[in-house]
Structure 1
Amino acid sequence: MIDRACSEISIVQQCELLGIARSTFYHRPCGARVEKLSLMHRIDELFLDYPFYGSRQMARQLRREGRKVGRHRVRRLMALMGLRAIYRKPRTSDPGAEHKVYPYLLRDLAVTKADQVWCADITYIPMRKGFLYLMTIMDWYSRKVLSGPLSNTLETHFCLSALEEALACSGVPEIFNSDQGSPFTSLEFTDALKARGIRISMDGRGRWRDNVFIERFWRSLKYECVYLHAFDTGSQAREGIARWITFYNNARPHSAHGIKTPGEVYAQSIALPKGEENVEGNYEPVA
């Protein structure tokens, strides 16, 4: 009893020194509940099929399937997953309060070669016992994925690491296009682009089609890899997704290029003499 009392006193003193409540010392964090993860997984599946569903319609659809869920809970989960209904509305991505928003530079621009335009965005990746975020950087012309790291947070450092990985393995783009989310409008990220002479382009609010190629890529990734394997851990997800991206780049013919893969188109394009443009697969600007 004396030893236990001494240990309790020691714990109290430690909490006072650290400036935390005693209850915090005993707290043992637990992972997300199975039911919550199952619901998030289903919301993600439905969103791929019905990207125009907002929280109200998503909640109605889930109730039709027998799930007891309200609109406010669905809204919280969709916000956590970074899902936003696709339709014209005042705000789709929120930049930081003091972050500069750059204009969209791709309207009426003919993209005719690799490394002319890169695009980037972030999506939610479900697992059996949690979820991660995937940032994808893609070459707009060839559709080759240049970087695809996973993280459990949406910090700017995560996005910077993805950018550095893409720059280290590929060339330097003329234009970098993203949405107006705070990781992309942060000073650290935009300064890294400016330091390399890269022009910054950002999707307009409500303009989901401005970055449609990555949206299509995510659909293929989730249906052909993520949902089929239901990864248990982050390491499994990283290995499985990396394997599928290698397959996508080097073995899977892309519909935009006939029988050619994104990797083949990218390699052929950067091998062309300077000033010579590609004829096949030119990007048609989105209306």
Structure 2
Amino acid sequence: MSLETRMGWIDPSNSLSLVRQCALAGVSRATWYSHQSLKPASGDDLQVCHLIDQAYTQRPFYGSRRMVRCLKDRGLTVNRKRVQRLMASMGLAGMAPGPNTSRKHPQNRIYPYLLRGLQVVRPNQVWSTDITYVRLARGFAYLVAIIDWYSRKVLSWRISNSMDSAFCVDCLEDALATHGKPEIFNSDQGSQFTSTTFTDILKREE
């Protein structure tokens, strides 16, 4: 599937965050920003953006000060004001380390990846889901969303104060009841999505 096609799925006005949309589409944020009206003015800035994006993907709790040190460790000396400007243009801000929302269960089945080389050409061909967290004053809330890869529409979402599979199951049931069923359901295969409670619902729809 071409980069331009996957870039077209990303919509800043969508209720799903831009960071999560980029992750689901398999497009780096720096690549997306480089195609927008807010793209860096120079090739040098674009190179720095790519390095910032790589570092931020690995360590999203890095602010500009630690990002400067990280870039220096990678052989690039950039002043902090420039890093602050580029991070702001990319919509990036350091955050406290959050919980791992993609933890796999060792006893759950691992399913094959079916999207490599696939052309997504119609609604309900591919749905995708993921969990992210929302930082609160006294902990975290967890958000699960299901999107249609073709229409880029958020089909269903739920928020929970725990990482059990119940809110993911509820989200799936709602999406199926409202929008029909997908041909392919894609996830990061975290334990919530490979649990028998969740997969039995998908098997029921086959």
Q: CA RMSD in A?
A: 2.8
Partner of 2:17: none
Pair 97,79 (structure 1): closer, same or farther in 2 beyond 3 Å: farther
CA contact (8 A) 1:119 1:178 kept: yes
Report the TM-score, using the length of structure 1 for normalisation: 0.40
Structure 1 pair 58–112 and aligned structure 2 pair: CA distance change class (3 A)? same
Kept in 2: contact 1:133–1:152 (CA 8 A): yes
**Deviation string for 1:9-62 (max 9, x for gaps)?**
xxxxxxxxxxxxxxxxxxxxxxxxxxxxxxxxxxxxxxx874633459838628
Residue identity opposite 2:66 in structure 1: Q
Of 140, 148, 151, the residue aligned with 2:149 is 140
User: For 1:52, what is the secondary structure of its paired residue?
Assistant: helix
Residue 58 of structure 1 corresponds to which residue in structure 2? 62
CA–CA distance in structure 2, aligned partners of residues 168 and 148 of structure 1:
13
Query: 1:56 and 1:143, CA in 2 relative to 1: closer, same or farther beyond 3 A?
Result: closer
Q: Give the superposition deviation at 1:188.
A: 1.2
SS at match of 2:97: helix
Per the alignment, do residues 50 and 155 of structure 1 end up closer, same or farther by CA in structure 2, a change over 3 Å counting? same
CA distance in 2, matches of 1:161, 1:176: 16
1:80 alignment partner, one of 87, 99, 122: 99
Equivalent-residue separation in structure 2 for 1:56 and 1:112 (angstroms): 33
Counterpart Cα distance in 2 of 1:147 and 1:79: 23
| Alignment partners' CA distance in 1, 2:165 and 2:99 | 17
Q: Which has the larger radius of gyration?
A: 1
**Residue 187 in structure 1 maps to residue 196 in structure 2:** yes
Q: For residues 55 and 116 of structure 1, do their structure 2 counterparts lie closer, same or farther at Cα, with a shift above 3 Å needed?
A: closer
Alignment match, 2:114: 105
Deviations for 1:103-130, whole angstroms, at most 9, x for unmatched residues?
1101111111101110000111123454
Tell me the equivalent position of 1:169. 178
Q: Partner letter of residue 52 of structure 1?
A: A
For the Cα contact (< 8 Å) 2:131–2:142, is it kept in 1?
yes
Q: Deviations over 1:72-103 (max 9, x none)?
A: xxxxx635264xxxxxxxxxx44211111101
- Within 5 Å, which residues of 2 pair with 1:84-233? 93-197=102-206
Change over 3 Å in CA distance of 1:104–1:81 after alignment to 2: closer
Letter in 1 for 2:144: M
For residues 152 and 115 of structure 1, the distance between their equivalents in structure 2, rounded to whole angstroms, comes to 29
Identity of aligned residues (%): 47
Q: 1:119 to 1:55 in 2, by over 3 A?
A: closer
Partners of 1:57 and 1:160 in 2: CA distance: 30
Q: Indicate the residue corresponding to 1:24 in structure 2.
A: none
8 Å CA contact 1:148–1:162 kept in 2: the answer is yes
Aligned residues: 129
1:56/1:169 Cα in 2 relative to 1: closer, same or farther (>3 Å)? closer
Q: Following the alignment from structure 1 to structure 2, what is the Cα–Cα distance between the partners of residues 56 and 174?
A: 33
Structure 1 runs of 4+ off > 2 angstroms? 48-60, 62-65, 126-131
- 1 CA distance for matches of 2:59 and 2:126? 33
Is this contact kept in 2: 1:121–1:137, CA < 8 A? yes
Q: Which has the higher helix share?
A: 1
Distance (Å, rounded) in 2 between the aligned partners of 1:142 and 1:56: 28
2:106 partner amino acid: A
2:128/2:146 contact within 8 Å kept: yes
Deviation at 1:134, TM superposition (A): 0.6
